[in-house]
Structure 1
Amino acid sequence: MFLYGIVLFAVAVVSSPLKNDYVINNKRFPENFMFGVATSAYQIEGAWNVDGRTPSIWDNMTHMNPDFTPDKSNGDVACLSYYKYKEDIKLLKAMGVKHYRFSLSWSRILPTGYADKINELGVAYYKNLIAELKINDIEPLVTISHWDLPLTLEALGGFLNEDIQWWFQDYARVVFSLFGDDVKYWITFNEPRQTCMGGYGYGYYPPAIHSEGLLEYVCAHNLLRAHARAWHVYNNEFRSTQGGKISIVVDTSAYIPASDNEEDKVAADTKYYFELGWFANPVHYGDYPEIMRTRVDQRSRAEGRSQSRLPVFTDEEKNLLKGTADFFAFNTYSANIVQHMDDPPISYPPSKYQDQGVRDFQPSEWQNSTQPSWFKIVPWCMRGLLKWIKDHYEDPDILISENGLCTDDDEKRIYYIKNYMSYMRDAMELDDVKVFGYTVWSIMDNFEWQLGYTQKYGLYEIDFNDENRTRKARPSAEFYTNVCKTRCLTDECVD
């Protein structure tokens, strides 16, 4: 009865904007605001073994285990963007976007995974892509690594091998030298939480290792070291001549206290720190969040371990990490209610969720996306999430690097984008949050990782049974085109 009351309280307090009493913000976005769209290499390029590219962990997983995706699909052909990139850029130009976020295929550029061999044909593809964007006045926003680790490096332990920091540093130096004169915005890694939690924790992404609360922490530790090495390469060797900015993309849901009780507020903050702060705190402040350090250390001791499951940065590494984000980039899609709970008993195996020691859930009253059950549409959460980032990370410049809806109902997609952007605009106007860009995922339907082609995020529809992968505009593409060109979410705008 008590829990039911809390859920009703939370829904009553924060979901009322879904009942038509919320007015879409009609203020124009600033003149220099960056509207964009996003993709990633493995999800759209295809040409998996063409022109010198070697396999990534995703090629290997989907080839060796076709049942890894529900439709037994893979990224071998994907959207054919390796061949159709000029067509895609025409769509971007017509839409009026200011930036295009895409990623580089590590194994297309460095077939061995190392900087000892550069694949000139792979380099030429990205040079041509970037040149075409620049000709059309679209800013390339380049992700250096978006989950598709070369298989050669995974064979050596991947992110469990601390040498990944040197492998990635060398790779980053190569791409800065090759493309940096034309790229002003760099991302080292996309969603490292998913790389580590999915790849080495729950095992829902390659290499599909199940080691919750153990190897996922090792993965994160090494990935953060790799990010810091790459940032310093750019800062020390390229920034003065290329003049760009570099960051990392974290991902987070919005976490909302179940009540006004202090315990629930602390629980929501704890959830933020374990999910977003896991990576954001080290790159901003040099170390893991204090609550994360304390709880994992305490539970590790109670488990009889001689050292914490959460690795420790040296003082040198803390200094290396601190301040390695020139802007705050994050992906967000949904939200959860968070509630205080009694500390979970010590048990084996451990898990990051036991380490957090909070309960999170989504009320059934929240609107579904029509596709994955976890994906609830809660646009009002955007303002609070942005304010939390502003307050906890020293008021940074913020890029929303992914936001979009997975659905078969395009009207719902328009509703989602319009409302999330409106609450974002509220945060800019009312809370002085410094958001400088917004990026829709995605310009087109693509290979959605472990769910194959069963989920549709695209402003443009693709029939994957059509060998030409013809792009077809959805009404949401027309809506977003109007937003990009008017800098406004409504028909009548005010400056």
Structure 2
Amino acid sequence: MDRDKVLTHMKPAPSIKQRTRLPQLRKFTVLLILPLVVLLISLQKCTQGANIANKLISKDNQTSKYVTAKGSKVDKFLNDVFPVGFKWGVGSSAFQIEGGYQENGKGQSIWDKFTQDSPDNASVSCDSYHKYKEDVLLVKSTGAKVYRFSISWPRVLPKGTTEIVSKEGLAYYNDLINALIAAGIEPMVCLFHWDLPQSLQDGGGWLNQETVGLFGDYARLVYQTFGDRVRYWITMNEPFTFCYYGYDEGIFAPGDKSDPATHPYSCVHSLIMGHALAYRIYKEEFFTQQNGKVGISLDNFWQEPADPNSEQDKLAAQQSYSFRFDWIAYPLFRGEYPPIMRKIIDAKSKLEGRKESRLPEFDAEWISKVNGSLDFLGINHFTTQLVKFANNSTTQNASNWESDTGTVRSYDPNWPDTGSHWLKVVPEGIRKSLKKIKQDYQNPEVIITENGVSVASLGMIMNDLDDLQRIEYHRLYINQVLKAVKIDGCNVTGYVVWSLLDGFEWSQRYDTQFGIFHVDHQSPNRTRTPKKSVKVLQQIFRDNGFPSVSKLHKISVISVSAQENKYSGTTVLLCSAPFALMFSAYYAYGQLSA
């Protein structure tokens, strides 16, 4: 190539001014184009949020457009009130919020041991042991007239037996109960919310039926000490959850997976006996003087047929329901386990070459104690599952509860997600559950002892307080309870919001939050702050339901699905932040152009 052609193809070197401008242009591109991209994405998210809100609330704010189970009708929001005397409450449990680990002689519980090596254990948690007076004021501020809490068995009986009684432990609960009554709040006391004394676990725990008698001794002590002021007693919280996750999956204390074929059944059997014994002790020794009520809290997932038009799926849903809720409820009303459980497990046990069924039996004495052993039935309802029969022979032939059910459970992908993978928002499920309880058990008194929703924590208080999904959850679920009472005639006498505080959430630790009050677990003071849901619940409690169309019914939720936009509050940031970014970009452009 000759010299002239080379010179023709050569570009002149950039001037000093041009060399200075190039990095500025690159910077300008980042400052302007990036915010534009964020703006477009954010506007798309805002549009999605608005669409989700439209799915939830119709234009007239009367029809809830939440995603229902297949084949179900979406019914109108009911403007009505609960019967006079309906009990509104909030709840908690000892291990989840108290802290005070080993203070004043408290004994170790199985959950203390199970989590002792974890950095996010509950040795302090919400520190309610020291802040109970503040927590009583929080309960009062909601307008609730009932506070459901549990007594820590190892706090009052460090070794689990009455040989050593902690005066300090009894004094703590005595002060708490007195503070509640002084604030006009009725205590609803649970005796066992999973924190078994470790010393009893060392002796076999609930697999050893001696624990049943020791639980009776513990119940008698508590009745003697507090029964003059407590009218509502819950013996056990969710026997299924405790035994299945503690002795099958092993993700709950005591974390024993050694024999999933028999241990969950033996565990539940002992808890039912413990409940019945505590009930009989109260009736025979304390009822005449104290005139209280004794019940039990059972977990209650509504089981919906995967295909509402399939007779097989309907049978599968009933079978799954029998293996979970009826497993504990049926003996309390009938004195024996559900017939379908007895049939399936007895047959499988025989095929496995066992001399006895893996499902225990009550003898004549215990049948008389267990049958009819409750004054009210507490249900803890959170969500719904879709059910069909399993078709995997390997799974069906295994020796464990999951296999014994003969079913598989799933969730509709259209159901809104929450902060817990197992909890989807399906409000109609609670009404269906209440109607079934009425039908199956002659309409007993029912108290909703837990109902609430988890929201994953972002660790940012402005997001954690903006719990719009929780507002909508409670609004819709409570309205379904109202329909069960006013339309279906269900004998529901109370509703307890779960939960008061953001506490220790078992296998999820502190990664998700059920509380209506935020707790700053990074602060030594464990600062409490009310979330937006508190104000809405105050209104519902005050109105005793939904007497008329009000601003309460016009609340729309932008963030209801983790698939669309997982965290409430994030949408607000996404919708507003781009404009700030755009302003910054244009300012930068002006500076570069100067």
Q: What interval of TM-score do these two structures reach, taking the shorter chain for normalisation?
A: over 0.9
Q: Distance in 1 between matches of 2:412 and 2:549?
A: 35
Which residue of 509, 517, 524 corresponds with 1:467?
Answer: 524
Q: Distance in 1 between matches of 2:414 and 2:68?
A: 11
- State the partner residue of 1:77: 124
2:71 is aligned with 1:13: yes
2:275 is aligned with 1:222: no
Which residue of 371, 376, 380 corresponds with 1:331?
Answer: 380
Q: Distance in 2 between matches of 1:96 and 1:462?
A: 20
Which residue of 375, 378, 399 corresponds with 2:426?
Answer: 378
2:143 is aligned with 1:96: yes
In the TM superposition, residue 354 of structure 1 has moved relative to its aligned partner by 1.4
- State the partner residue of 2:206: 159
Q: Does the aligned pair in 2 maintain the 1:332–1:403 contact within 8 Å?
A: yes
- State the partner residue of 2:300: 252
Q: Does the aligned pair in 1 maintain the 2:161–2:218 contact within 8 Å?
A: yes
Q: Distance in 2 between matches of 1:117 and 1:260?
A: 59
Q: Distance in 1 between matches of 2:476 and 2:68?
A: 20
Q: Distance in 2 between matches of 1:372 and 1:29?
A: 30
Which residue of 262, 282, 287 corresponds with 2:336?
Answer: 287
Q: Distance in 1 between matches of 2:312 and 2:503?
A: 42
Give the paired residue count. 473
Q: Distance in 1 between matches of 2:69 and 2:248?
A: 32
2:406 counterpart letter in structure 1: G
Q: Distance in 2 between matches of 1:466 and 1:268?
A: 46
2:91 is aligned with 1:38: yes
In the TM superposition, residue 491 of structure 1 has moved relative to its aligned partner by 5.4
Q: Does the aligned pair in 1 maintain the 2:247–2:256 contact within 8 Å?
A: yes
Aligned pairs (5 A) from 1:111-260: 111-210=158-257, 211-258=259-306, 259-260=308-309
2:322 counterpart letter in structure 1: Y
2:440 counterpart letter in structure 1: H
Structure 1 runs not aligned, ≥5 long: 1-8, 67-71
Q: Distance in 1 between matches of 2:139 and 2:549?
A: 25
Q: Distance in 2 between matches of 1:432 and 1:337?
A: 26
CA gap 1:340/1:295 in 2 versus in 1, 3 angstroms = same
Q: Distance in 2 between matches of 1:266 and 1:346?
A: 19
2:138 counterpart letter in structure 1: L
Larger deviation, residues 447-456 vs 334-343: 334-343
CA gap 1:348/1:492 in 2 versus in 1, 3 angstroms = closer
In the TM superposition, residue 11 of structure 1 has moved relative to its aligned partner by 4.3
In the TM superposition, residue 340 of structure 1 has moved relative to its aligned partner by 3.3
Q: Does the aligned pair in 1 maintain the 2:153–2:196 contact within 8 Å?
A: yes
Q: Does the aligned pair in 1 maintain the 2:81–2:547 contact within 8 Å?
A: no
Deviation digits for residues 223-258 of structure 1, max 9, x if unmatched? 111111111100100011000000111102111122
Which residue of 261, 273, 276 corresponds with 2:322?
Answer: 273
Say which SS state the counterpart of residue 473 (structure 2) adopts.
helix
Say which SS state the counterpart of residue 36 (structure 1) adopts.
strand
Q: Distance in 2 between matches of 1:228 and 1:488?
A: 34
Q: Does the aligned pair in 2 maintain the 1:73–1:453 contact within 8 Å?
A: yes
Which residue of 405, 408, 413 corresponds with 1:359?
Answer: 408
1:401 counterpart letter in structure 2: T
Q: Distance in 2 between matches of 1:232 and 1:398?
A: 20
Deviation digits for residues 445-464 of structure 1, max 9, x if unmatched? 00111211111111111110
Structure 2 runs not aligned, ≥5 long: 1-66, 457-465, 551-594
2:260 counterpart letter in structure 1: E
2:347 is aligned with 1:302: no
Aligned pairs (5 A) from 1:372-411: 372-408=420-456, 410-411=467-468
- State the partner residue of 2:542: 485
Say which SS state the counterpart of residue 181 (structure 1) adopts.
coil
In the TM superposition, residue 281 of structure 1 has moved relative to its aligned partner by 0.9
Q: Distance in 1 between matches of 2:102 and 2:190?
A: 21
Structure 1 residue runs of 4+, over 6 Å off? none
1:197 counterpart letter in structure 2: Y
In the TM superposition, residue 391 of structure 1 has moved relative to its aligned partner by 0.7
% same residue? 38
2:48 is aligned with 1:48: no
Larger deviation, residues 400-409 vs 235-244: 400-409
In the TM superposition, residue 285 of structure 1 has moved relative to its aligned partner by 1.1
CA gap 1:287/1:163 in 2 versus in 1, 3 angstroms = same
Which residue of 502, 515, 539 corresponds with 1:445?
Answer: 502
Q: Distance in 2 between matches of 1:420 and 1:112?
A: 41
Q: Distance in 2 between matches of 1:382 and 1:206?
A: 28
TM-score (norm 1): 0.93
In the TM superposition, residue 84 of structure 1 has moved relative to its aligned partner by 1.0
2:319 is aligned with 1:262: no
Q: Does the aligned pair in 1 maintain the 2:191–2:235 contact within 8 Å?
A: yes
Deviation digits for residues 247-304 of structure 1, max 9, x if unmatched? 1111021111222333222211111110001111111111110101111001111122
Q: Distance in 1 between matches of 2:396 and 2:416?
A: 35
2:437 counterpart letter in structure 1: I
Q: Does the aligned pair in 1 maintain the 2:397–2:403 contact within 8 Å?
A: no
Q: Does the aligned pair in 2 maintain the 1:24–1:490 contact within 8 Å?
A: no
Q: Distance in 1 between matches of 2:253 and 2:504?
A: 15
Deviation digits for residues 99-151 of structure 1, max 9, x if unmatched? 00000010110111101121111101100100111111111000001000001
CA gap 1:310/1:486 in 2 versus in 1, 3 angstroms = same
Say which SS state the counterpart of residue 382 (structure 2) adopts.
coil
Q: Distance in 1 between matches of 2:132 and 2:212?
A: 31
In the TM superposition, residue 342 of structure 1 has moved relative to its aligned partner by 4.8
1:425 counterpart letter in structure 2: L
Q: Does the aligned pair in 1 maintain the 2:96–2:503 contact within 8 Å?
A: yes
Q: Does the aligned pair in 1 maintain the 2:231–2:291 contact within 8 Å?
A: yes
Q: Distance in 2 between matches of 1:344 and 1:333?
A: 31
CA gap 1:212/1:397 in 2 versus in 1, 3 angstroms = same
Larger deviation, residues 336-345 vs 477-486: 336-345
In the TM superposition, residue 348 of structure 1 has moved relative to its aligned partner by 6.5
Say which SS state the counterpart of residue 124 (structure 2) adopts.
coil
In the TM superposition, residue 337 of structure 1 has moved relative to its aligned partner by 1.1
In the TM superposition, residue 349 of structure 1 has moved relative to its aligned partner by 4.5
- State the partner residue of 1:59: 112
Q: Does the aligned pair in 2 maintain the 1:344–1:354 contact within 8 Å?
A: no
1:277 counterpart letter in structure 2: D
2:461 is aligned with 1:413: no
- State the partner residue of 2:28: none
The structure with the larger Rg is: 2
2:488 counterpart letter in structure 1: D
